[in-house]
Chains A and B, each alone.
Chain A
Amino acid sequence: MIELDRVTKRYGNSIVVDDLSLAIRDGEFCVIIGSSGAGKSTALKMINQLIPLSAGVIRIDGKDAASVVPEELRRRMGYVIQSIGLFPHWTVERNVGAVPALLGWPAARIRDRTRELLVLLKLDPEGFWRKYPHQLSIGQQQRVGIARALAADPDVLLMDEPFGALDPITRDALQSEIARIHRESRKTIVFVTHDMEEALKLASRIAVMDRGRLIQAGTPLEILASPANDFVRDLVGQDEVGIRLLSVETVGNRLRRGEAAPHQPIAATASLRQALSRMIAERTDRLAVADAEGRPIGALHLSDIVRR
């Protein structure tokens, strides 16, 4: 549990983070979103003490973060940044093993852990571990960056616009990767972005910030369905609200159990947006729905998508 309790950051007269209170529960994927200058990166960097607080307190599992040696705190939290920041003179292996080495793990254990992470991030461990960062594509570099953050198996992962510099295809692949890692590990992830699409795709909870203040915090559905003010409404994109609502709900929620329908079935875990897309593409108003094993379990009608 990470609690930001009335946290403020001032630089001279300008207030960058203003009286921010936010509690992030264990296992949550919390996305902090806002336009540039909203104070979201500053808020993130205060969690691992990279930026000292002007006022307020941050508690991690009930303990004041300021009472811990900052370096030790940071070694227990993975940290991923937009500019990646791999060490150019170190191999992939040494980059990934950096935190375990700081923690004094034995060499054999570091090596095993490094291989394990390269597999997890879908980087072939045989070809990769000897390479230097400049020999990798940007997408591969950020995969290594995520592996480095995960190396010492931290409970918390802090990510500062990690996919902001990637092309759309690579970004999409890495978003799926981090979503899978979150699903499988249940780590607490605090993720900063300015991209609402990304927030809706990844977040279990979204915190909207504007000019240093927290405007609204809630599930993606809550943010979409009842935006707190015009700023949030604009951020969501008024023209896109309907489509985005469809993208955060699954077919399973609207399913007519037991009913049969023609066509190739769609998975119950697919989003309503994907279902609508299939209907339009296949010029039909009914789709068969299948469970995880591919067994038909029901049907979805076009009207089910529209109706509440």
Chain B
Amino acid sequence: MLLVLACIGLATGLGLAFLTHAPNRLVSGRPIPLTAVVGGASLVALLPGVALLAGPFLPQRRSAHRLVAAAAAAFLVALLWRAGAQAAALAEIAPRAARTSLGGGFWGLFICAALALVDAEHRLRLRPSARFIAGAAVAGAILLLAGSGALDQLAIVREYAARRSVFADAVIRHVAIVFGALVPTVLLGAPLGILAQRRPALRAALFPALNLVQTIPSIALFGLLIAPLSALAGYFPGLAALGVAGVGVTPAVIALVLYSLLPIVRNTAAGLDAVSAASVEAARGIGMRRGQIFRYVEMPLALPVFLSGLRIATVQAVGLVAVAALIGAGGLGAIMFQGLFADALDLVLLGAVPIILLALAADALLDLAGERGRRRPA
């Protein structure tokens, strides 16, 4: 795994442009290779990269995995630092409209280093809390770098600087739509999962239906909802006053609830299935009432599986909200599509990168919650 990553990283890092520099954001840029970005004292930035290349040939010990993890984390920060520094140097001699964008070489190296970090964490068998701390440390270092102004001349950061408030609104709206969909999904899905687990007939009817919903492409489902919702809002002006409309947030939330129901319902039922029959029989035998059996035995034992379902639903919803921008729901997807239609790659990235980060953060947070739920192991 590490060897493959090292080869890909080496090939893309040297073969593709590390940065591209263009006189304005509409024309494609002139490639700048990695070799032009580092030299002299800044060669030190490549040191962790060299350590990563050596990684596959080290003995497979914990100390080696730790070294790889540390080198990968350092390399992620170092790559951004060099990219930012080079952009700053170019900005001094170039006109204001000129752009320095991150190139294929940068992304190749960055992604390979990130995967090497994840791989090393996996080999170290880090617990979710430790992984969370490691991720937060890398994110913190990158934020510090950005805060110091070292990245200000990178095109993606300049796009951000040009639309700070739009960006902040988009992030908040994105998160709000995800929450707005997940809260009703859990309120609806958890009881449905409990019922389905107790009644095989309901399960047999419900699960194929939810599976079917999952197979509908999201863009099609959004489209399908436009007509009935417009009609509803037309017939009942009260609903329209509440914000129900064929386009916008309402169909987005409805579609997200439909998509998120499957992981929530399925994992609630699966979590309850996994509770040992012996524990339930013992609970009955010592005189627990039904409600007490659920509260003290079934619910806590099913919780980790339920939380992993919530994790899947959340990560999926973060991605789907991006698509919902097409029907006017707003959020980070709107920035992404604005960039796509304007052929401005850096604007696309300004939408896409935070979506990925949101998904990663949600994943890590729920992983952490799952660890707390699992602390008393089953």
Residues of chain A whose beta carbon lies under 8 Å from any beta carbon of chain B: 48, 50, 70-75, 79, 81, 83-90, 98-99, 102, 132, 134, 145, 148-149, 158
Contact of A84 among B282, B284, B289, B297 (CB under 8 A): B282
Q: B376 contacts the other chain (Cβ, under 8 Å)?
A: yes
Chain B positions 277-309 with a Cβ under 8 Å from a chain A Cβ: 277-289, 292, 296-297, 300-301
Report the separation of the CA atoms of residues A81 and B279 in the bound assembly, to the nearest whole angstrom.
10
Q: B42 contacts the other chain (Cβ, under 8 Å)?
A: no
Report the separation of the CA atoms of residues A98 and B286 in the bound assembly, to the nearest whole angstrom.
8
Report the separation of the CA atoms of residues A38 and B26 in the bound assembly, to the nearest whole angstrom.
85
Closest to A74 in B: B287
User: How many Å from the CB of A99 to the closest CB on chain B?
Assistant: 5
Q: B276 contacts the other chain (Cβ, under 8 Å)?
A: yes
Closest to A70 in B: B287
Q: Is the CB of B377 within 8 A of A71?
A: no
Q: Is the CB of A74 within 8 A of B301?
A: no
Report the separation of the CA atoms of residues A102 and B293 in the bound assembly, to the nearest whole angstrom.
11
Q: Is the CB of B276 within 8 A of A75?
A: no
Closest to A75 in B: B287
Report the separation of the CA atoms of residues A149 and B288 in the bound assembly, to the nearest whole angstrom.
13
Contact of B286 among A84, A88, A89, A99 (CB under 8 A): A99
Contact of B292 among A102, A134, A158 (CB under 8 A): A102
Contact of B284 among A72, A74, A87 (CB under 8 A): A74
Q: Is the CB of A87 within 8 A of B285?
A: no
Q: B41 contacts the other chain (Cβ, under 8 Å)?
A: no
Contacts of A134 in B (CB 8 A): 377-378
Interface centre among B280, B286, B289, B301 (most CB of A within 10 A): B286
Contacts of B283 in A (CB 8 A): 85, 87
Contacts of A48 in B (CB 8 A): 285
Contact of B285 among A79, A88, A89 (CB under 8 A): A79
Report the separation of the CA atoms of residues A99 and B283 in the bound assembly, to the nearest whole angstrom.
10
User: How many Å from the CB of A51 to the closest CB on chain B?
Assistant: 11
Q: Is the CB of A74 within 8 A of B276?
A: no
- Given the known A-B contacts A89-B378, A90-B376, A132-B377, are A74 and B278 also in contact in the complex, defined by CB atoms under 8 Å? no
**Given A81-B278, A85-B281, A88-B276, list of 18 further CB < 8 A pairs?**
A50-B284, A50-B285, A71-B288, A72-B287, A74-B285, A74-B287, A75-B286, A83-B277, A85-B282, A87-B283, A89-B300, A89-B301, A89-B376, A99-B286, A99-B287, A134-B378, A145-B282, A149-B286
Contact of A83 among B281, B284, B297 (CB under 8 A): B281
B 259-279 to A, binary, CB cutoff 8 A, 1 in contact else 0: 000000000000000001111
Contacts of B378 in A (CB 8 A): 88-89, 134
- Given the known A-B contacts A88-B378, A90-B376, are A102 and B287 also in contact in the complex, defined by CB atoms under 8 Å? yes
Interface centre among B282, B297, B377 (most CB of A within 10 A): B282
Closest to A85 in B: B282
Q: Is the CB of B376 within 8 A of A132?
A: yes
Report the separation of the CA atoms of residues A50 and B282 in the bound assembly, to the nearest whole angstrom.
11
Contacts of A84 in B (CB 8 A): 278, 282
User: How many Å from the CB of B134 to the closest CB on chain A?
Assistant: 28
20 chain-A/chain-B pairs, Cβ below 8 angstroms? A50-B285, A71-B288, A74-B287, A75-B286, A81-B278, A83-B281, A84-B282, A86-B279, A87-B297, A88-B279, A88-B376, A88-B378, A90-B376, A99-B286, A102-B287, A132-B376, A145-B282, A148-B282, A148-B286, A149-B286
Closest to A48 in B: B285
Report the separation of the CA atoms of residues A195 and B299 in the bound assembly, to the nearest whole angstrom.
37
Report the separation of the CA atoms of residues A74 and B283 in the bound assembly, to the nearest whole angstrom.
10
Closest to B292 in A: A102
Report the separation of the CA atoms of residues A284 and B188 in the bound assembly, to the nearest whole angstrom.
80
Q: Is the CB of A71 within 8 A of B287?
A: yes
Contacts of A79 in B (CB 8 A): 282, 285-286
Closest to A91 in B: B376
User: How many Å from the CB of A156 to the closest CB on chain B?
Assistant: 12
Report the separation of the CA atoms of residues A84 and B297 in the bound assembly, to the nearest whole angstrom.
15
Contacts of B376 in A (CB 8 A): 88-90, 132
Closest to B275 in A: A88
